[in-house]
Structure 1
Amino acid sequence: MDFNVKKVIVHYGYKAKSHDNDIALIQLETNGIPMNPDLHSVCMPTQGVSYAKQTGVVAGWGFMTLKPRVLKETVVSILSNKQCNAIPTYTDLITKNMICVDEQVHNGEVVCRDDSGSSLVINDGETLRIVGKGVLVTL
């Protein structure tokens, strides 16, 4: 399916250098999207809930100069921000607005640093829930 984008709304607190608040809304020109088994809505995260020690699905296009430009997905482990800030590369760079995932994925796929900002979705047992954007690390 192809959709035309009407407007991109970047988070007002986005900081390109630190990637803090690396998220945006995309308003489509259409008034509705037909749902099917491969395309359905997800709920927003529950405020104040930690998703550390859970698994989620990250989706992204990765390094965009490679062909074909196909959206890919893979299962990742969600880490606590404390764990990420303990990694020398990320010491004190992970903010409360970020969710950190382990790039060592569960199915042999590779998560690319260019997937930072991609959606991260979990199944909380009741519904699919988008929990944020991923900061990808090497452990």
Structure 2
Amino acid sequence: MTLLWVLLLGLLISCDAGESATGCGKYNQNGLESKIGLIPGGARPGEFPWMMAVLDRRDGLTRYIGGGSLIAANVVLTAAHILNGIGEDDLLVRAGEWNVSTTEEIYGHVDLGVKKVISHLKFNNYSGQYDIALLILKAHFPVQANIRTVCLPSQNTSFVGRHCLFNGWGPMEADSKDYPNVLKKIDVNMIDKTACQRKFGRNVSPYLICAESLNRRASCKGDGGSPLVCPLPNDPSRFEQAGIVTYGIGCGTFRTPGVYTDVSRMSDWINYHLHRWNIQLGQRKL
């Protein structure tokens, strides 16, 4: 009987690993069924199933503080700056969210607590360098239509010239205090470091990458930690995470540059900490 259980467990693990290996970054192009209509500039329900909402639940309240991405069933990748010293017991991560104004969606969200916050020890709040953190969760998110992992890029991947996008629940306009109910979708074009530094008028860390908005919306306060994702060159139905929203110049302006933590440059750091927690990411099969 013991041997049978071992064999069954091995089969389950191998099946799970196979799904992880082939299923990362798969988005729902046409969205999922919803009871609520779409809005201009908004994502479709469940379109980007790796998008996470990071919540602060101090004082008995639940406040949205930024975004994140699901990179393993129990690991969220986000920006260090949004955490601002908040401890594990005061954090909550929400998967499967789309419209924050209702709980009656057909595909509901799932909330999990945080077991461990791992922020980069060299994070510099002024320059944005090493603006990265991992949230190890207390349990695993279920695999369902609106909850899946995003792919991570190979080390030192260049995204210059590629058309990418990011999501978030940050305001649509600069200085606005109104946060949208529905997850937004912002198209960007990746630009090289020289053009980026010229627009900012200062040096940009080697661990950061830049993109400019392709419409009248850009990253705003509240979008920090959200994933910047790009379709795979040989499979546009799947996405890999190029960056993490770090900072920008204002928001809501056409061609406004945004600066993002370069996920490919941080792959060694990510893998080191996942190894310490005995967490493995499936290898992409392309």
Q: TM-score range by the shorter chain?
A: 0.7 to 0.9
CA RMSD in angstroms comes to 2.5
CA distance in 2 between partners of 1:52 and 1:116 (Å) = 21
CA distance in 2 between partners of 1:136 and 1:104 (Å) = 14
Tell me which amino acid in the other structure corresponds to 1:118: S
Aligned partners of 1:100 and 1:136 also within 8 Å: no
Correspondent of 1:79 among 191, 201, 214:
191
Cα offset for 1:58?
0.9
1:5-25: CA deviation from partner (whole Å, max 9, x where unpaired): 222211222101111111211
CA distance in 2 between partners of 1:25 and 1:70 (Å) = 25
Correspondent of 2:243 among 132, 135, 139:
132
Aligned partners of 1:79 and 1:102 also within 8 Å: yes
TM-score, normalised relative to structure 2:
0.41
Q: In the alignment, which residue of structure 1 is the partner of 2:88?
A: none
Correspondent of 1:5 among 114, 123, 135:
114
Structure 2: which 5+ runs fail to align?
A: 1-108, 250-255, 258-286
CA distance in 2 between partners of 1:34 and 1:104 (Å) = 34
Secondary structure of the residue that 2:117 maps to in structure 1?
strand
Q: In the alignment, which residue of structure 1 is the partner of 2:144?
A: 36
Q: In the alignment, which residue of structure 2 is the partner of 1:111?
A: 218
Identity of aligned pairs, percent?
A: 28
Judged with a 3 Å threshold, the aligned counterparts in structure 2 of structure 1 residues 67 and 128 are, in CA distance, closer, same or farther, namely closer
CA distance in 2 between partners of 1:120 and 1:62 (Å) = 14
Judged with a 3 Å threshold, the aligned counterparts in structure 2 of structure 1 residues 90 and 5 are, in CA distance, closer, same or farther, namely farther
Alignment: residue pair count: 133
Correspondent of 1:52 among 145, 155, 160:
160
TM-score, normalised relative to structure 1:
0.78
Aligned partners of 2:169 and 2:179 also within 8 Å: no
1:77-97: CA deviation from partner (whole Å, max 9, x where unpaired): 11112210111x3421x1111
CA distance in 2 between partners of 1:55 and 1:7 (Å) = 34
Cα offset for 1:67?
4.1
Question: Rg: which structure is higher?
Answer: 2
Structure 1: which 5+ runs fail to align?
A: none
Correspondent of 1:96 among 193, 206, 221:
206
Tell me which amino acid in the other structure corresponds to 1:17: Y
Aligned partners of 1:81 and 1:95 also within 8 Å: no
CA distance in 1 between partners of 2:117 and 2:170 (Å) = 20
Q: In the alignment, which residue of structure 1 is the partner of 2:132?
A: 23
Cα offset for 1:118?
2.3
Aligned partners of 2:127 and 2:205 also within 8 Å: no
Single out whichever of 124-133 and 66-75 deviates more from structure 2. 66-75
Q: Which structure has greater helix proportion?
A: 2
Judged with a 3 Å threshold, the aligned counterparts in structure 2 of structure 1 residues 112 and 60 are, in CA distance, closer, same or farther, namely same
Q: In the alignment, which residue of structure 1 is the partner of 2:30?
A: none
Aligned partners of 1:9 and 1:26 also within 8 Å: yes
Secondary structure of the residue that 1:123 maps to in structure 2?
strand
Aligned partners of 1:45 and 1:130 also within 8 Å: yes
